[in-house]
């Protein structure tokens, strides 16, 4: 009871703390300096249609690397946590409809995923979105058959090398363009605005991110599905 009162007090306190902010809040009328620079820069310096992608992959590239790392850590962490548990064989069978459809949809979904991350600099979407989509394809497989076995070697290879190449591309920037150019996409020619082969290394990075996210999420699903 007293606990309940404290909970309500705490939440009430939080509400009162946030209230002034909510009351005074209004949307900005225009972009701030930094955002404007990003929009301009994305067009002029990076040749990338999708400003968000420019921000994600280039301007805040370190964040994205970190983000990939976080996901990687989650994979490793889950692997670490669930390291001893033997995979329990489940005999649950899914409906035939699901089983058949999953085989059929698998390729389609994966292709869509690949499309999304390849066009991350042009259209909404990107590596993460694409990667998640790829993972859902494998989720479908797991749903269809709980005992499905993935080729871990391939998964690991994709995961490891996509990550490694991502870092190495960043490193190439350092190597070629100087100490302030880690993750600089301009190591690859920028191409022409609006084309697939534009925005320098952004599509390459995003593809690697997509692969990495896809393989990692698949591993996570696999691990947790096994439990």
Q: Which of residues 113-142 bind other proteins (CB under 8 A)?
A: 122-124, 126, 128
User: Given the complex with other proteins, which of 98 and 150 has the nearer CB atom?
Assistant: 150
Report if residue 185 touches other proteins, rule: CB under 8 A: yes
Report if residue 156 touches other proteins, rule: CB under 8 A: yes
- Are the C-beta atoms of 185 and 57 separated by less than 8 Å? yes
Report if residue 197 touches other proteins, rule: CB under 8 A: no
Quote the least distance from Cβ 195 to other proteins, whole Å: 13
Per-residue x/- track, 16-55, other proteins (CB under 8 A): -xx-xxxxxxxxxxxxxxxxxxxxxxxx-----xxxx-xx
3-class secondary-structure state, position 117: helix
Report if residue 71 touches other proteins, rule: CB under 8 A: yes
Could you tell me the two tokens for 124? 């909404």
Report if residue 146 touches other proteins, rule: CB under 8 A: no
Could you tell me the two tokens for 17? 């703390």
Give the span between the Cα atoms of 49 and 194, in whole angstroms: 6
Kind and range of the H or E run holding 204: helix 202-226
Report if residue 190 touches other proteins, rule: CB under 8 A: no
Residue among 150, 197, 204, 142 nearest 172 (CA) = 204
- Are the C-beta atoms of 88 and 94 separated by less than 8 Å? no
User: Given the complex with other proteins, which of 96 and 149 has the nearer CB atom?
Assistant: 149
Quote the least distance from Cβ 111 to other proteins, whole Å: 22
**15 CA to centre of own chain:** 33
How many residues form the binding site for other proteins (CB under 8 A)? 102
Quote the least distance from Cβ 182 to other proteins, whole Å: 5
The CA–CA distances, whole Å, from 31 to 35, 37, 201 equal: 6, 9, 27
User: Given the complex with other proteins, which of 28 and 92 has the nearer CB atom?
Assistant: 28
Residue of the chain from 140, 143, 146, 220 that contacts other proteins (CB under 8 A): 220
Report if residue 224 touches other proteins, rule: CB under 8 A: yes
User: Given the complex with other proteins, which of 141 and 206 has the nearer CB atom?
Assistant: 206
Report if residue 13 touches other proteins, rule: CB under 8 A: yes
Quote the least distance from Cβ 203 to other proteins, whole Å: 15
Main-chain phi, psi angles of 32, to 5 degrees: -70, 175
Could you tell me the two tokens for 74? 């989650």
Give the span between the Cα atoms of 60 and 183, in whole angstroms: 9
């Amino acid at each position: 009871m007293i606990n309940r009162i404290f909970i309500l007090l705490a939440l009430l306190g939080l509400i009162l703390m946030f209230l002034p902010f909510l009351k005074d809040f209004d949307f900005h009328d225009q972009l701030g300096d930094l955002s404007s620079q990003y929009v301009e820069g994305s067009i002029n310096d990076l040749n990338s249609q999708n400003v968000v992608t420019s921000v994600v992959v280039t301007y805040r590239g370190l964040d994205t690397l970190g983000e990939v790392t976080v996901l990687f850590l989650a994979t490793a962490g889950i692997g670490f946590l669930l390291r001893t548990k033997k995979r329990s064989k489940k005999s649950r069978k899914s409906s035939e409809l699901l089983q058949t459809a999953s085989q059929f949809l698998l390729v389609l979904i994966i292709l869509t995923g690949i499309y999304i991350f390849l066009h991350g600099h042009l259209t909404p979407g990107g590596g993460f979105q694409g990667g998640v989509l790829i993972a859902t394809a494998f989720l479908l497989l797991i749903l269809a058959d709980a005992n499905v076995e993935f080729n871990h070697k391939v998964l690991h290879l994709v995961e490891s090398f996509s990550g490694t190449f991502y870092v190495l591309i960043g490193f190439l920037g350092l190597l070629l363009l100087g100490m302030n150019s880690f993750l600089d996409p301009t190591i690859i020619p920028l191409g022409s605005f609006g084309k697939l082969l534009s925005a320098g290394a952004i599509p390459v990075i995003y593809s690697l991110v997509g692969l990495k996210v896809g393989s990692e999420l698949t591993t996570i699903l696999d691990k947790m599905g096994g439990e």
